[in-house]
Amino acid sequence: MGDADLANLSDKLMLTTVVLYIIALFAYAADLGFGRRRRESAVAEVAAVPAAVAEKTGAKVLVAAGGAGTGTEGGEAAASASGPAGEDGERRQVDWARLAILLNVLGWGSHLGVLVSRGLAADRWPWANMYEFLAAISFAAVTAFLVVMWRYKAQFLGAFVMVAAVVALGVDNLWLYDSVGPVSPALNSYWIAIHVTAAITATGAFTVAGASTILYLVKVRAEARKAVAAGGVLSRLPSVEALDRLSLRVTMFAFPIWTAAIIMGAIWADEAWGRYWGWDPKETWSFVTWIIYAAYLHARSTAGWKGRKAAILSMVAFAALLFNFFGVNYIFSGMHSYA
């Protein structure tokens, strides 16, 4: 397969990825909105077996203070009373969570194919321009989410991470698309595989932490206003404490990688331009971002910050990260920018 064929394959896989992510987004949203409600209603239906039916079967029914607890025999009676029709009803229900995860993993595989085929077509690492860089960051964010979901059962983040991925890839294709081509000599180095990969990985993880922090702030505000209705979407999110801990853990993972990216970038700058640090806009804002995330982690560990104050500081750091990527690259002129 020639370079043109590989480049064309990469473009087609990009379209496939976006479509799969969009469908996964709706499936995650459906699971968040209806999935647990259906499971709870199924439990309620089983618990609501009429006393007359229980008496006919000779079952012992134990009603707890909550109103739905049954003993073993009562549970068996309820299951038998529901009969085949109940089983058919379960089969008719869509398992939105599994469908969303399946589509997400398929989309992730297609996304990986985008980067691999693009790299093979260009005969280099596929993050030498903004189009490739944003595609790689989106891939890192989805990968970080899948790992966090597997480790912490955090599929509730799926809809929000998918929104970010779909928007990023939409912007990438509509406004940032760049055909496969050579790169400048300064970028033609093995350091692009080290420095840029570390920056991409950290940015993807910070994105997942940012999504968790946003959900934390939304739920805290809703709880303060007593707007978290029973059975509502916000009520089916984890507790605010769990969201806070998740954001902290992901940030703690990403911060050392971001630190390594800055250090390795300085080494690469010395090799390419003959100086370790030149206060280029990108270098400056990368350092500013590092300082804010360091302040967040320091405040958490020494001053005992947690909750809303820590979340706001985390969002300031995430905003600096986004500005470092979008604002610096297009507003300021420098060695790293595309202005």
The confidence score (pLDDT) of residue 329 equals 76
For the stretch 39-73, what's the b/e string if a residue is b when 16 or more beta carbons lie within 10 angstroms of its beta carbon? Answer: eeeeeeebbebeeeebeebebebeeeeeeeebeee
pLDDT at 85 over 60: no
The confidence score (pLDDT) of residue 254 equals 97
Both tokens of residue 140? Answer: 């890192």
User: Are the CB atoms for 321 and 203 separated by under 8 Å?
Assistant: yes
Query: Which single residue is written with the structure tokens 């595609």?
Result: 135
Choose the most confident range, by mean pLDDT, from 86-90, 178-182, 301-305, 311-315: 311-315
The model's pTM: 0.81
Mean pLDDT of 268-284: 84
pLDDT, tens digit, 9 for 90 and up, residues 13-29? 999 999 999 999 999 99
Using pLDDT thresholds of 50, 70 and 90, give the confidence band for residue 50.
Answer: very low
Choose the most confident range, by mean pLDDT, from 35-49, 205-219, 322-336: 205-219
pLDDT at 47 over 60: no
Using pLDDT thresholds of 50, 70 and 90, give the confidence band for residue 63.
Answer: very low
Using pLDDT thresholds of 50, 70 and 90, give the confidence band for residue 72.
Answer: very low
Instruction: Give the start-to-end residue ranges of the domains of the chain.
Output: 184-331
Choose the most confident range, by mean pLDDT, from 22-31, 46-55, 56-65, 261-270: 22-31
Q: For the chain, give percent helix, strand, coil, nearest 5.
A: 80, 0, 20
The confidence score (pLDDT) of residue 288 equals 96
The confidence score (pLDDT) of residue 92 equals 55
pLDDT at 330 over 80: no
In 3D space, the residue among 291, 295, 172 whose CA is nearest the CA of residue 283 turns out to be 291
pLDDT, tens digit, 9 for 90 and up, residues 117-176? 999 998 888 988 889 999 999 999 999 999 999 999 899 999 999 999 999 999 999 999
State how far the Cα of 78 lies from the Cα of 45, in Å rounded to an integer: 9
State how far the Cα of 277 lies from the Cα of 257, in Å rounded to an integer: 19
Q: Between 265 and 94, where is the model more confident?
A: 265
Using pLDDT thresholds of 50, 70 and 90, give the confidence band for residue 36.
Answer: low
Residues 6+ apart with CB under 8 A from 234: 218, 219, 222, 227, 228
User: Are the CB atoms for 259 and 290 separated by under 8 Å?
Assistant: yes
State how far the Cα of 266 lies from the Cα of 272, in Å rounded to an integer: 10
The confidence score (pLDDT) of residue 183 equals 75
Mean pLDDT of 307-321: 94
The confidence score (pLDDT) of residue 262 equals 94
Indicate the range of 36-45, 246-255, 304-313 predicted with least confidence.
36-45
Using pLDDT thresholds of 50, 70 and 90, give the confidence band for residue 268.
Answer: confident
DSSP code string of 101-117? HHHHHHHHHHHHHHHHH
Using pLDDT thresholds of 50, 70 and 90, give the confidence band for residue 223.
Answer: confident
In 3D space, the residue among 309, 307, 159 whose CA is nearest the CA of residue 234 turns out to be 159
Beta strands in the chain (DSSP E): none
User: pLDDT averaged over the chain?
Assistant: 82
